[in-house]
């Protein structure tokens, strides 16, 4: 099951801080997307290729809980996994940690739906769906 949860490492950029001296809150969702892209790639689903085939996955819901602030130059680990997958919709979970002190900084989830090239509702192809198997949450969201 370990290959069903992907962890990516990234470092907080100066551009991502705000004048409160911490990372600005919307960037956490960008980091989640970096982890989602990587998770899909490791599961054999390269999002860039999906788009090339006319399929898009659009975010329709996002929710995030900020527990501790990330700071400039912090090295973070962002975990991503699939929470639920249905014919037209897939829900990803995320946990953002700072390994240096073992702190859980944030947890999040996003729901995405499949759209075709004309931005109409579509289905997630079976081959994609089968690779994005849901797993139990490794942390409480």
Q: For the chain, give the longest Cα–Cα distance.
A: 46
Options 3, 9, 18, 97, the catalytic residue? 18
Smallest gap from residue 1 Cβ to a second copy (A): 26
Nearest to a second copy of 1, 34 (CB atom): 34
With CA atoms as reference, report the closest residue to 94 among 110, 112, 108, 75. 108
Smallest gap from residue 51 Cβ to a second copy (A): 8
Query: For this structure, is 18 an active site residue?
Result: yes
The full length of the chain comes to 141
With CA atoms as reference, report the closest residue to 83 among 51, 58, 107, 118. 107
Nearest to a second copy of 1, 23 (CB atom): 23
Question: Contact residues for a second copy (CB under 8 A)?
Answer: 11, 13-15, 17-22, 24-27, 29-30, 33-34, 37, 46-48, 51, 56, 58-67, 69, 72-73, 119
Q: Give how far Cα 117 sits from Cα of 6, 57, 58, 134, Å.
A: 28, 11, 12, 26
Nearest to a second copy of 67, 87 (CB atom): 67
Smallest gap from residue 65 Cβ to a second copy (A): 5
Nearest to a second copy of 22, 126 (CB atom): 22
Across-strand partners of 96? 78, 106
Smallest gap from residue 99 Cβ to a second copy (A): 17
Q: Hey, what's the torsion of the CAs at 33, 93, 120, 117, to 10 degrees?
A: 30
What positions carry a catalytic annotation? 18
């Amino acid at each position: 099951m370990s290959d069903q949860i992907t962890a990516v490492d990234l470092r907080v950029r100066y551009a991502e801080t705000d004048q409160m001296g911490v990372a600005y809150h919307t960037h956490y969702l960008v980091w989640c997307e970096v982890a989602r892209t990587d998770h899909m790639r490791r599961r054999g689903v390269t999002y860039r290729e999906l788009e090339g085939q006319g399929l898009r996955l659009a975010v329709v819901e996002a929710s995030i809980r900020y527990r501790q602030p990330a700071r400039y130059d912090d090295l973070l680990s962002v975990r991503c996994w699939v929470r639920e997958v249905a014919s037209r919709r897939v829900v990803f979970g995320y946990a953002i940690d700072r390994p240096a002190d073992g702190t859980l900084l944030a947890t999040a989830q996003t729901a995405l739906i499949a759209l075709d090239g004309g931005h109409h509702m579509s289905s997630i192809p079976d081959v994609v769906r089968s690779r994005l198997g849901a797993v139990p949450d490794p942390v409480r969201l």
